Each structure stands twice: as structure tokens, then as C-alpha cells.
Structure 1
Amino acid sequence: MKRILIIDGQYLFRLSLQTVLRELYTDCEIVEAESIGSALELLRAEIFDLVILDIEIENHTGIRMIEFVSRISILTSVIIFTSAHEHVHAERYVLVGAKGFIQKSAKREEVVGAMSAVLNGRHYVSNNVHKLLLNGRPVYNVREPRLSDREREVMQLILQGKLTKEIAGILQIQGNTVSTYKANIFRKMRVNNVLDLAKKVSVD
């Protein structure tokens, strides 16, 4: 029997995803967590075959969650299921250990294919991302300078509406360090404020 943990802050999304998963695996056991805190407690106490993670869930960065899962269980696969744009995030999350990356806007057939692939030990990214990787091209938009992993973590939290103090607490770094990362992000992305940054990421 497959044991699956869904980590997502949206109740209706968790409910709809459960429906799809039960159609795919009728005997699977599905557990939900709406916060990282409750997810960590479950992961410390139980073993799961698959963790489905939204990297935009409040007060966390997905990179650290993947690292945590990898430390406590080498048998658990992680698939990122998010509305965050794959051209910004997919390559990086796959490189740090995610077995798959799929967007919430994907059609049902793609969702089923992605879950099936990862649960059967394979990797999954969209056809578009796969083609770019095969061609040796970076997934991120070549028109913009590449952000470091830490800068992308900070950018993700900025786009969630977090303030400098909150970001410092989540990432356990100094506030002035966050400000430096923020300045670097704005400079590299060629924007002057958070609204312009959100538009840039959405368009790219």
C-alpha cells in the first residue's frame, strides 16, 4: 500500500488531489498537512512513499523541506506541485533532490502521469522543461542573470509578501543579509520593487 503525504495550505486543493490519487491507487493511504510544522511532526513519526509539496506554502522554503526529507528517509520521494513557474524553479528543485516538478495548472492526465512516474521510481518534469534540459539549456530565462540558490529562496519569500524580519527568521540569517540579497535580486532581475518583480517572474 502506498503512503502519501500532501503538504499544502489550500484545503480544496488537498481534497481534489486526494480524489485523483485514489483513482490512481485505490488502496493508498493519504495524510494531509496544511503547515510545515505539522508536516515535520508526521515525517518524524512515520514513513511515506511520496511527499507532495507546494513550495509556496506559508513560512518555509521548499529547498529546506527536501533536505529534511532526504535526511530522515532515503525511501521517500518528493514531488513539487505548485503554481510557481517551472522556468524559475524546476531545474533547481530537481537538482537538490525532488523527483518531480509539476504546476497546479497542469491537466489531469499530466498530473496522473507525474504521480505515477514518481511513485514508480522515475523522475518527472514537463515536456518543455525536459526538452530544455536535453538540449543542455538552462531552464531559467536566458535573458536574465542567474540567481544563487539563496537569492531564489529569498525571492520566493518576498513574493509571498514576507517582510525582511520575517525572512530573516525563516532562513535564520541577519536582517541586513536579507536586505543585501534583496538588493542583488532587484539588480539582477532589473526591477525596482516587489510588484515589478512579481510581474517579471509571472511573465517569464
Structure 2
Amino acid sequence: MGRSSSRVPARAEPGSSRAYPGPEGRDRTRGRRLRVVLADDHPVVRAGLRHILDSGDTIEVVAEAEDGRTLLRRVQALSPDVVVMDVSMPELNGIEATRAIRRQFPTTRVLVLSVHGAEAVVLDAVAAGAAGYLLKETATEELQRAVSAVARGEGYFSPGVAGLLVNRLNERARQRPLLSAREREVVQLISEGERLGQIAAKLFVSIATVKSHRANAMRKLSIRTTADLIRYAIRGGLSPL
């Protein structure tokens, strides 16, 4: 349990799980034990997971749940730092439970622990808001480390899962329609509050040309409104706002 996970690399390397820095920022759990709720429909599995997590002095299992709806009630009542759950559960599956937790209790992080490593299942879990995904075959040696990582606002994934996600991101990056340098310039100036006439004067082009660049950028990004274009610029670092 002593080996610490490395930060996210440019590409996943086989054989080691990865802790991915997340956007949550400051660790709100510093100085106290992490409060965890376990969710799995097999009592023997829950007992084993509890034994692993309770064996140290940094994590406390505060409740268990045997199905997704019971899990939501436990989270509402206890506000845990992390939920460790299986994908396959009665009443409400782990994917939908993850989505509900992230929507209703956004301070609680979700770590999925499952035998399912299929791409569709992993991507659905991440899209639903899971901060980490461990295959049960690696749980014994990595579970405490994974819980601590997601509680800090990081992501944590088993090696095969991390590789799958990186491959999918690389595929999306290759397919993403890139803006030209002039289109990026126009988008940035729009996000900074410049009017079309001002942009045209700065770039020494006509207003019609500015409109054309704006339209091309919005088409490539599948964006329909100027407000969405501004949000894209801010999120993508094109604007200092």
C-alpha cells in the first residue's frame, strides 16, 4: 500500500494506475478521516471492502447499501466524502446512482469498483460523473489509495481503464474540428467584449469577414449562440476572463 500513484502522464503506461488531478481544487478533507459509503449487492463483497478500508487510520466506512436507492438515502443522510459502488446493483444501477449523486450531492465523490471493464460501461460511468474506476481484480492493493485520490479531487483509474480513456480522448482530439488562427483570434476578441466593427478595425478586415470567421467557428464547434461562444473561449483558455 506504500507506493504512491504518479500524476497524469501524457499517455497511459501499462501496469500502473493513474491519479488524475481534478478541478475541485483544495482538499476539503485534510486533517480528518475520510467518510465512505459502500454500495454492492453482495454482503461478502461489502465485508471484504470494509475490511480493506477500515484497516488503516485515514478512512472510515460510515454505512453500506445493497442497492442504488438505499445508497441515495444513505448519501442524503450522511453526506460522505466518497461513495464506493458497483455498477450492477438492483433497484438503481451504479451508472444512474452516480448521476443522481453528482446532481443532488455534488460534494460527494464517486469511485466505481466493478468487474466490468467494457468500454461502453466505463465511458457511461465517467460521463455520469464517476471520479474513478477500479476493476475489482486490483481493488485489494489499490482501494485505499484510490479513495484518498478521489477525495482530494483527483481521478483514479485502473491501468486498462486509464489506457482506454486516453485512447478515446486522443481519438476525439484527432476528430475535433480545429479553429484556424484567425478564427481563434476573432473568438477571443468577441469574448473580450469587442464589437464586430472594432474587431474588423483591429484585424484590418471587413465586418463581413469578421462575421464569416465567427460563423465558421460556431459551425465547427457546433455552437449556436454568441454566449456559448464566449463560454467556449473562457473554458478553452482563449480569453483571460
Task: Please tell me the TM-score bracket, short chain as reference.
Answer: 0.5 to 0.7
The alignment's C-alpha RMSD in Å is 2.1
Q: Which amino acid aligns with 1:58?
A: P
Unaligned runs of 5+ in 2: 1-32, 173-241
- Equivalent AA in structure 2 for residue 109 of structure 1: E
- Following superposition, the deviation at residue 27 of structure 1 comes to 5.6
State the TM-score, normalized to the length of structure 1: 0.60
Moved over 3 A (4+): 24-27
Question: Contact conserved, 1:86 with 1:103, CA < 8 A, in 2?
Answer: no
1:43 corresponds, among 59, 67, 75, to 75
Q: 65, 85, 98: which is aligned to 2:97?
A: 65
Correspondence for 1:84 among 116, 119, 132: 116
Q: Does 1:103 align with 2:135?
A: yes
Larger RCO, structures 1/2 (Cα 8 Å, 6+ apart): 2
Residue identity opposite 1:113 in structure 2:
R
Write the mapping of 1:1-204 to structure 2, written as runs, cut at 5 A: 1-26=33-58, 28-106=60-138, 108-135=140-167, 136-137=170-171
Spell out, residue by residue over 1:144-178, the C-alpha distance to the aligned partner (whole angstroms, 9 max, x if none).
xxxxxxxxxxxxxxxxxxxxxxxxxxxxxxxxxxx
Deviation at 1:116, TM superposition (A): 2.5
Q: CA separation in 2, counterparts of 1:87 and 1:25?
A: 35
Amino acid at match of 2:41: G
2:133 maps to amino acid = F
Equivalent position SS for 1:37:
helix
* TM-score (structure 2 length as normaliser): 0.52
Task: Give, as a single letter, the amino acid of the residue that structure 1 aligns with 2:143.
Answer: V
Q: What is the rounded CA distance, in whole Å, between the counterparts of 2:147 and 2:48 in structure 1?
A: 14
> What is the CA distance between 1:18 and its match in structure 2?
0.7
Tell me, in whole angstroms, the C-alpha distance in 1 between the residues paired with 2:139 and 2:86: 17
Count residues with an aligned counterpart: 138
Q: Cα gap change, 1:91/1:24 in structure 2, threshold over 3 Å: closer, same or farther? A: farther
Percent identity, aligned pairs only, is 27
Measure, in 2, the Cα distance between the counterparts of 1:82 and 1:134.
19
Letter in structure 2 aligned against 1:122: E
Give the superposition deviation at 1:57: 1.0
Structure 2: distance between partners of 1:129 and 1:27: 24
User: Secondary structure in 2 aligned to 1:124?
Assistant: strand
Shift of 1:28: 1.8
